Every structure is written in C-alpha cells, then in structure tokens.
Structure 1
Amino acid sequence: MENSCLRPIDRNGKLLCPVPDNYTLKEAELKLGSSLGLCFGKAPTPSQLFLFFAVGSDIQPGTEMEIVVEETAPVSDCLKLMLEKSGLPGETWHLRKMDWCYEAGEPLCAEDATLKELMICSGDTLLLVEGKLPPPGFLKVPIWWYQLWEPSEQWKSHQNDSSCAPSRGGGWGAASTQGAPGNMPVEVSLLCVGDVEISEDATLADLKSQAIALPPLSDFAVPSPAFLRAWTVESKRPGRLLRINQQRLKDYKLGRRTEVCLEPLQKEENLGPQDVLLRTQMRNPAERTYAPALDLVWDTARGWTARSLRQTVASFYSLPVEKTEIAKYFPEKFEWLPLSGRNQQVTKRKKKKKQDSLQGPPYYLKDGDIIGVKNLLVDCDEDFSTIRDDAGKEKQKQLALGKKRSQGALRVHSSSAEGPARPRGPEASLSIHVGSFQ
C-alpha cells in the first residue's frame, strides 16, 4: 500500500486531487458520505503540486491528463513535462490556465516564473495551446472579418476554420450593413483571416494596416484604415468598438486574449468620444419582419436619454417624433425592450424631473446594439418581435425544461443512493414568556 493514495470522487464520478497522507479528515474537507477512491501512485508531498492538463482550448470532460510537479518548477519546465507526457512534438506551444467558465484564460507568459509565484495550486487545470507566445511588449491578435448578411452554406461550414476567408466576388464594400437580411434582426458572421503580431506601442491604424496585408484580404483595395471599423470579439460576437485610429493598442488595454474583427465601410468614419453607433431596422407592419439594417450615429452630448435617441431616430427616418417608437433588441433572450422616452422620474429632494440614462439598467445601451423602429402611422401593434424570436424563445424553454428534468432525476438518484431519510424526532412544545417593562 506504499504506492497508493486516496482520492475524493465528485458527484460526476471524477477523481479529484489525492489527499496527502499527513492530512486529517478536516484538512482534507471530507464529510460524512464523501466518496473516496483507492488509486495507484503516491500522494504529492507538501512541496509538490498535482495538476490536471489538457490539449487545446476545447476541453471535453474526462480527457484531462494528470501530472505531479514541484511548486518551485518554472513554467518552461512544466511545459516540457506536459509535452513529453502527451507525446506532442515541437516547441510552438504555451500554457494557459483554465478560467472559471472552463475556457482558456490568460497565458502564462513569464516562462521563468515558478508555479508558486503564479499562484498555481493543486487541482488547477492548465491547457496546452499551440502557438508560440509573442515576445514581451508584443501582442498576437487573431483577426476576424465582420459580415452582416446571412452567410452561405459554404461559409457556415467554415466559420470555425482558421483558414476561412471572406468571399471575394462582391468587391470592396460588399459587407455594408445595408446588406443585412430583411426578415430578421442583424445576423453577424465572423470569419477568421489570420493572426497579426504587433507591438503594444503601435496604433490601431497600424493594426488595421497589417491586417489588410493578410493573404485572405489581399484582393481588397482598402483606401485607408479609416474605411475599416475595429471591434473586439466577445462571446463570438462584436463587443467593444475601437474608435480612435491614432490611439496606441496599449491604451486600449486589449490584453493577450483579445481578438479583433474588422468591418469594411463605404466611406471614412471618425467617431467622436460622445458618438454611439447603433444598428437601426424599420419594422414592416403586419409582417413581423424588419427592413435591412442602417447605421445610425447618435451624438449623446445632450445626454443618454430615450427622448434624445427617439428624436434622432425620427429625424434619421424622416418621421414625426410622436409617431416613432423604438426598442432595443436582446439577441441572447430573443426579446425587445421598448424605449418610450416618456418615462420620467421625480426626485423628492431636488423636486425636479430627471430622465433615466440608457447607459444603466435595464437598457445598458452600447455601440453595435440593434434598435427596432416602428412607424406608428402605419403600425399600431405594440409587439416588436418576429417569428424567429418566437422560435428562439420556444427552444430556450424546451432546453430549460430538459435541464430541470435532468436535475430532478439526479436528485432522485442521489437520495436513493444515500438510503432512506432519517426519522425526525418528536416535536416539543415551546412557551415564550414576555415580561412587563412598564
């Protein structure tokens, strides 16, 4: 039994870190009913770390490998040991720590730093990711091409392929926002075109210039970087708009995980710090569909109020303000939230009216948001939704119902495995006497 150890087992049947031999049950956080496995191999010493690791950023449960290393080992030595154990050739690999949502987190850039200095603990999962890290002071930025129309079947099959490239048949400006599908809110397709290694002291314009030189974009005659919008990529969708071409990348605080997508424009654009870029779509009455999307630049110098935005949208579409209704679209929920512009809040202390800011709850308005527009002269329906929204909500409902059923079945299985419930003791009466304090 000298070459064996005890390892806790979680509810999913996964073996956790071995329990050190000198630990008490309290130190090992073992409770009544905990499951333990008697496994081959010695438990790590107090100066060692027991780590899980996997290859790639797409982790499948049960595919993790295990390794025991000294906590004083540098990242470079840990990387070599993991490469040897996994049988991977070459030196173009780096380590990343898995974040709280089980995705690849920040890379371990300081290869000379020890695992202890980087606060790596037993039980952590490290990811072996292909690709050499850029030298200090440089960024390796994956570049995506931003499309706003419905992708073809060929594009759909290549959206996750690193060799994908935009179609070259439409010429420059083919990705105008006016090409968005008319029967649904804006659909976004991000197509990977390659990586750019660039200094943190370079400007956003430098990044755009280097991205244009990538082979998949070589056929596009881009007049200047001002004809490209740059967005960060968040949850596989455009996130933050990078608006100032002459600003340094260091000032944007992109980090080493940031990916950037580029959107081609028909004309130069120079957005100010108070300008907000919105995608507006006019609702087709009685059809529950929307016209192609149009970009609207909203100057918020007068405040982030619904009334101001409503006036801007009405002027943009040449409609009377009182006959214009707008709503923000939440694609993850398939819901539209009306922005009436009529909600006013009276503060008791200042005794004056104050309009709610669209930056705060529940709107959280930002660059790139979809705004539905309704002409009340021809469309009196209060609903902003589409048939696609109905289908999306129904699918979410079915998924939630299935998850609830599976959790219920798991609770039933757990309770049956633990045996019958303990009988409750007899109930006793309780009397409370309150004294008189008069």
Structure 2
Amino acid sequence: MFGNLFEEDEEEGFSSTSSKGRVAKGGDEPPPARGRGNLCGIKNQGGTCYLNSLLQTLLFTPEFREELFSLGPEELGRLEDKEKPGAKVRVIPLELQRLFARLLLVDQQSASTADLTDSFGWNSSEGTNQHDVQELNRILFSALEHSLVGTSGSSFIHRLYHGTIVNSIVCKECGNVSQRQEDFLDLTVCVCGVSSLEEALWNMFVEEELFEGNNLYRCAQCDRLVTAAKSAKLKKLPPFMTMSLLRFSFDFAKCERYKETGRYTFPLTINLRPFCEQTDGDDSDYSYDLFSVIIHKGGCYGGHYHVYIRDIDQLGQWEPPPKLQEDDPLSVITAIIAEVPQHVLMDQLGQKLMNKIGSSWSKKFRKHYGPIGKFLQSHNDVFILVSGGTRVALKANLPSPVTEPPGPPEQTTKSDPSTGSHWFDLNDSTVTSIRESDIEKQFQGKESAYMLFYRKTQLCRPSEALNNPQYKVPSHLVQMAQEENLNLQQMREKLEATNNTVELHLHLAPCYRLENGALQPANKEHNGSTTLSFDRRKTVGDLRLAIYQMQELWEGDMALTVARSLPAGLHLYNTLTDDNVSLYSAGIYTNSDLFVWNGREVRKSTVHRKLAQMSQSRMTFMLVFISSGMWCDYANWGRVGARALVMSLKCVLAGTCWHLRRLDWCEEVGEPLMDEDASLSELKISSGETLVVTEGQLPPKTQVKYVLTLPALQNVCVPTTAFMRIWQLEGRRLTRILRGQQLTLRKLKLSGGTDLCVQQLLKEEDLGPKEVLLNVKMGVPGERSYYPAEELVWDASRDSSPRSLRTCLAAHYGLSPDSLLLAKHQPDKHIWEEISNWSQQVSKKKKKKRTESLLGAPFHLKDGDTIGIKNLLIDNNRDFITVEDEQGQQRLREGNASSDGAGPQKKAGQTKSRKPEVALSISVGEFR
C-alpha cells in the first residue's frame, strides 16, 4: 500500500582525468588517501547510505567495537574455511570485524561494504535498493545475535542496547495493579503533534491514559468493567539508548505518506529520571549524552542518509570548519567545490558563487583575476577540469617532489576548545568536521534528524584508548591493515610516477632553418622532433642534463625554449632559465614542444628578439569555444574584426550563418557582438577571454532585434509580458504558475518536454513566492451547487494558517470569519477536504499548540486549487459534495471494480509509478 518507501538516484560516474597528464586505467588506480580529518568514509553501492550511516555509528560506539573485536577466530572461525563442508564460520561478525579494522587503520578515503553485504546474502541489485535505517537497526542486531549464539559474545547486544518497559493498569475502584513487562531495542517516539523529544517522552511515560465512559477496563479482581488508568515506565535502562523518530505519517484521506518536517528539538544531554519506575538512584544513573544523529534528507519516496557523530576516542583530527575568506577567489571556489561529493558543472559554478558570497565573478574578481575559466586553469595544482572541461573538481593529490614512506597515519588531534568534543559529518565517502551547534540545523525541514543515539554519561574511556585506533584491535587484523597500507603505498607511488611522466617533443636546432621569421624543418621528410619521457617533478636542470646525455655531440651552451607549432612554422616563446624550478612549476605538460638551441642563432642565422622573446607579448590570445564542443586557440587577432574571425572559422564549421557572443557573469552564453566590423580591441575583448560561436545571423543594423512569437500566439496582443500568466501543466492539469521575471529556466526547474499554458490577463500581475492564486467558489444557499468561481490571491508569506485564509476570504466577501466554512476540492477523487481550526492534543507539560500551515501536509495548497465556501449564517448545509462529484465518485468505483482482477493501476500523468518495495532481510546460518 505504501509503495517504495525510499528510492535513491544513482549518481553519474565521474572520472578525475586530467587533460594535461597521463592517468592510469581505472581498475589500476588506488583509492585516495584519507583527508585532513584522518577518518575513513564508506562507499555507497548505489543505495546503501542507510547502511553506511548505521555502520559508522556502530564503529564510533567504543564498547560495541571492542566487544566485537574481543571475539577471536577460535570462536568465529576463519573466512578461508567458509566453503569447507561442515565448517561453522560466522561470516557476518568476521566481515564486520574486517570492515571496522579497515575503517580504523587502512589509509584510504573510503572503504567498501561489498564483502559485508555479500555475507548478508544480498545480490548486486539489493545494494541499489534503499531501506529504512530504523528497520535495518533491528534486523542487523537480530542477525548478529543469531550469528553469535554459542560464543562469549552471544549476549553483548542485549547487554548494551536492550532495556525494559513496564506497562501498568491501575483499577480506580479497588486499586489493583496489573503489570506487563516488554523488552525494547530502541524507543519509537512520536513527532507529529509534539515539539521536542522531552515532550514525546513525557506523553509516553508520565501522562496516563484513562479508561472511562464507553471505554472501560475489566478488572480481574472486581470482575467487572471499571474506570482505570494505563501508564508506562522505563524499568531497566541500557548503556546505550536509541531513539527512533516517527518522521513519516500516513494521510488516510489521500492514502499516501508524508514526512513530518516541523521543528522537533532534542537535547545534547538528557536525564531520564522522570520517565523511570525507580527514581532513587544518583543523577548519573539516568544521564545520557548524545553521540550520534542519523539524518534523512528528502521525502517519503526518496532521499539520502548521512550521520553526525561525536568522536569519543578522538580518533580523527578535528579542525574547526574554515571561515570563508570572501575576498580570496581561491578560497571561495575551493569551498564551493568541497561542498559537493564529486564535481561542479562549469555552467553552474557562477550561480553557486553568487549564492555563496552574494556577488558575481565579473563584479568581484574579474578585474584582477580575469575570466573564471582562465583562473581555474592557472591554478591547476588545486583544480582539475574533467569531462572535456565541462566540470571542475578538486585535485585529490597535489604533485609533490618527495614521496612519504609508508607508515601509520599521524594522530595529532586537538580538542575543540569551545565544546571539548569532536563532531564529524560522515556522508558516505566524505568526512568533514562540524561544530556541535550544527546539530540544531537538523531539528526541522526536509533534511532532519531521524535516529538519535545516546550514551550513558557514566561510561568513561581509558586514557590509552584516546588517539589510538589500534586499541584492542586483534593482531591479525592489524597485520592485515598494515599489508593493505603497504600495497596501497606502492600503488600510489607507481600511479604518481605514471601521472607525472610527460612526453616532451624536443626540436633540435641543427634540424631546423630560419625562413620568413619562423623555423622550418631543414628536411621536409623529417620534422626534426624527438620524443622524450620525463618526470615533471624533476627540475629544468635535470632535463637539461638528460638532453646533454642524449646528445653526446652537443657543444657549447644549451637553451630550452617553449615552442609551438603553427601553420607558418615553429614559433618560440619563453625560455626556461631557472634550473632549480620543477617542470610542473614551469608549466611543462605532456606533449609540450621544446626547442633545443644555443639561445642565439639557428644554423648561423640570428634569431631576433621579436621571434624569441616578444612574440607572446605582441600577440593577443583568445580561446574560442565552438558549439560542436571543440576548443581553439587564436593568436594575434587583436586588430581583426569579429566578421573576419567568423569567416576564418567557417572552414571548420558547417553552415553559413554564424556570429560571436560573450559569456556573461554566470559563464553562460550572453549578448552577441553586434558590430562585426569593429576590431576585437575596439569591442574591448581582453586577452584570454572566451567567446562562443553561435549559429544564426545577426539582425541588420537598422533593426534592434528580432521578436520571436510562437505560432499559436500570433493573434494575442499584450502590452507587456506582465499581462501574461504562464502555467506548468502536469497530466492536463494546471499545477504551478511560473514566477520571477529574471529567473532562468534552470532555476524554475523546467526541462525539455515540459508542457506550458499561457493565460492572457486584463491587468498586470507579479506574484510573490508565497502568494497563492486560488479559485474560490461560494456555495448557493440550500442547493448542492456553487456560484461561478473567482480568482483570489492569498498572501501566505507571513501567516499560512487556516485562520489567515479565512480572514482573507472574509475580507473579500465582506463577511465575518467565524461564519465561514471552508473546504479544498480534490478533482481527481471528487471529494472535498474540510479546512477547520484543528483541535490539537495539548500536553500537560507544555501548554503550547503548534502553528499549522496550509502549504504543508495534509492540504498542500498550491496555485489553481479550488476552495469551496459555505456561509453558515444563511446556509445550514455543511456538505460540499455536488451532483457532479457524486457522478465522478461513481465512475471511479466502477473503474476500480473493473480493474480489481488486473491489480491496482494508476492513471497516467497523475501519480509517479514506483518500484514495488523490497523487504529487507539478512541471511544467517544455523549455529545452535
């Protein structure tokens, strides 16, 4: 009935391949090393973020981790024996031990859970199905308990996590008490209708439920129905208290799930004494500290999990989140890219920058740093362009002249002086430091806390466990991690050497002659080029020495000059003069051309300064992007007009009509260069600027611009676009008005194939983001019909409650708000949902009601919704159903009856089809 509760879209693949160096094949590439936090993430198999979040929580539960590590091979068996007949190998705890050892000791950015999920009996497709982490918590603990039967650890799950609740019913007549105890692994607490964890616990364990009136209790002692009170108390508190928040509710009117996104607070430290049966102990017996928050982002039918964890043993290197330096473009762009798991699209980088600092690149940085694309290329030690330059990512490993020897990672951690605790956000492979105050951001919204893990304050850690990831890890697992570290180090050294090996094309001076200001090969059959593979981490002096050794007959000085092969011949640029600088710092990459000569002459012909040193300074370089995806470098075009440049490009372009356009501040295609006869210098095209060659002919100078009109709107005449209302259609229904005159289609989330409807207006309209256009209909007194609908704009920006809507309608019709009865029409179901002042259950502890919003569940008011109105002063009929609604309901019943044999089918265009929900299970062998 609920459909697939969670679905998670797989992210597209990402290849961090540099266009300026060699990269090993994907299968041979080692995983990146750990980041600055020195903690290891977990790879997502496609939909296993819920599993990753729970595993990280268990790893950072020291008592759980040490209990698991205390079980040796003599009790669990050995993985190499699992295929032997008759061998009892407890695969799940063994694989969990190995995973924890890798997360603690192996120097890699993220570990794989493939072996663990294989031990669960899951196939490859089950790794892409997402499930509820609360359900996984119970199933995984049950699987561990069954796997450890007959071992010394058979009871450690029960000892650490299980508690007891006692339910009591007290007879008000004779005072007889009937009690029943029940075991719990986690406490499922309500979110709907309460504002905090304490209030939910108060409702569960302090407030009583009365059996009275028609709901009486049969007392065994009185042997009759009597008034009674039911209550519950915590009888036994476990060392670790798990709170599962009921964020998802079911709307029985709509027959669909929805997520509770209202504010729901929870404390960092909680005292459970008021909720316990026995309250005579010390405060420390009831005090718990929060150490893990599993967070769900999304809705009922899709989302993502990550977890905030307090590093109790200080295994990671906590650093305060860096304060953004808004005047430093390198810091700003690095922070923007670091916020995403893999990469940022180049055409989105400008907008992300605007959202981050409130200013565009052109206004803040372009004057001093040039175009954003040129800035990224000039900092290729920090950024890497991938996918043909359409995406940018941070480099994982910067080139370094010295490779560190293998060894255990450094453990120099400093506690947060303000809180005294380390908090990290573990989001699959990504681990970042956060502040304790960041937890408050997860109190409400689509991204909010879903599971809370508390640890008894009495539990203390030994000093030798701090900053020591090897503490109580079995020696055979330590040895396994050391071997994997050594193997990874060797793979990284090999990869680093491969990635830093560049192929240089050496052009020897004796093989060239000077002709018409350019260098031409002396022998046309041989271009005089020699290929040399060299490590770019070495210095220019090392390269010079290697060339000396290759050319044993070379006499005199040797100059190395960067060259470029152009149609006119070989042109020389800057000469490498500093022998102590590395080739990487000198800007030498693979396929670079170097001219080897004495620095003065070629075959006794003097090379003038104009050719060797001034050629670059006198030429204006411009990078031109062609719509086919090809990049071209053009030089010395500063005095040439735009028309001449386009004519020169037609030899590589199909078609006859092309023009040039600039890039705007968002790095998107901007205004065209209208004056094609002006030179690029007169058009203020600066060196290094990017232009876009776009198909199409510019309008003549006598016309300002062409106005394009859709054929269907040729006969529609409006003064301005403000007299038009644009609707988005879904399933032939008007669902949303497109707001904002300056918003791009990407901001409006419009994609190709979207159906739009244009409505002509009699007056200008500019709706705000929280203004809702409603169709309101007043009921005809004494009849089952309505007067014609009217459009009403309701401003819900300040107050979106039912009272606000009722006040707005009362002002529109000139009536009293208390005399109006409202309902929302559901046209697909032909029913009316009455909107009233809901009477919320008020807690005895906090006399406060939550503010309800009509924009949220369960009404979700939006543009185009129909609101029915009854004036109770003159109309006693409180039923909103019309004859047309009854006929529609009859048609639905007949349609459902005819489709019972074929199963439930959804109407096209109304509801998104979802995959059937797959049950979560873990297969465990028999060990009794």
Indicate the structure with greater helix content: 2
Larger of the two Rg values belongs to structure? 2
Place the TM-score, normalised by the shorter chain, in its bin: 0.3 to 0.5
Output the TM-score relative to the length of structure 1: 0.44
Greater RCO, CA 8 A, separation 6+: 2
